[in-house]
Amino acid sequence: MGLGRLSDEVFEAVLFDMDGTLVDSTPAVMRAWTTWMHEFGLTPEQMGRHHGMPSAQVVRALLAEDRHVEAIRRIDELELADVHDIVVLPGAAEALEALRAAKSAIATSCTVPLAQARIAAAGLQPPSVLVTVDDVAHGKPAPDPFLEAARRLGVDPTRCLVVEDAPKGLEAAHAAGCATLAVVTTTRREDLDADAVVGDLSEVEFIPGADGIRVRLRAAAASAA
């Protein structure tokens, strides 16, 4: 499978999700949320429907209002305390480096402290623009994170490419009017509603030019497709 219409597009900016797109935090996330889930009497089935959403929104969706403050404080504690074995995903460092002189951003459902902790733990060199759930009125699947990232970069959201791994994040990108590229790192390919889907960022390259940014399949990925 190729990149479809993305191969013909020239973008002004690339907006990356963080967890599952640039860094693999799955083991740490699972440990934190499994502990939290047991403490608050929830099941994995209840949790699974909310992948990609900010933790506070997950809490509000699952628990009664009188438990929100305690539950949000607890998941924040658990996640900040566990940033072990977080690693950069294949192709992520190369993608960010290729765009170093172009316009790019990270738009994540994490809080500022958690995003910074996970970026540092992975040893990732992030772009200068980092939008977290602390910066917007509504997190994913609302379009706010991507709209804010585009605003900070001074570009029209419709001229941005969003790279995501989660259905809720893709929903946010569509609502913002962005083109979408999904990576199959945490979600089944058939559950990813995107303009194009690849295994991970090692399969594509970002090529900045005078007229904007192009995305191409790398030779090995193109041959496999």
Backbone dihedral region for residue 41 (phi beyond 0: left; psi -120 to 50: alpha; all else: beta)? left
Torsion of CA 134, 91, 169, 32, to 10 degrees: -60
And the tokens for 126? 């992030």
And the tokens for 148? 């804010």
Residue 193 appears among annotated catalytic residues: no
And the tokens for 49? 């429907």
User: Out of 17, 24, 144, 195, which one is annotated catalytic?
Assistant: 17
Name, in order, each residue with C-beta under 8 angstroms of 132's C-beta and a sequence gap of 6 or more: 108, 109, 110, 111, 112, 115, 145
**H or E segment to which residue 112 belongs:** helix 112-122
User: Out of 8, 19, 135, 193, which one is annotated catalytic?
Assistant: 19
Closest CA to 54 of 148, 163, 166: 166
Q: Could you give the 3-state DSSP secondary structure of residue 100?
A: coil
And the tokens for 69? 């403050």
Peptide bond before residue 27 is cis, with ω within 30 degrees of 0 = no
Buried b (16+ CB within 10 A) or exposed e, 16-50: bbbbbbbbbbeebbebbbeebbeeeebeeeebeeb
Residue 200 appears among annotated catalytic residues: no
Q: Catalytic residue positions?
A: 17, 19
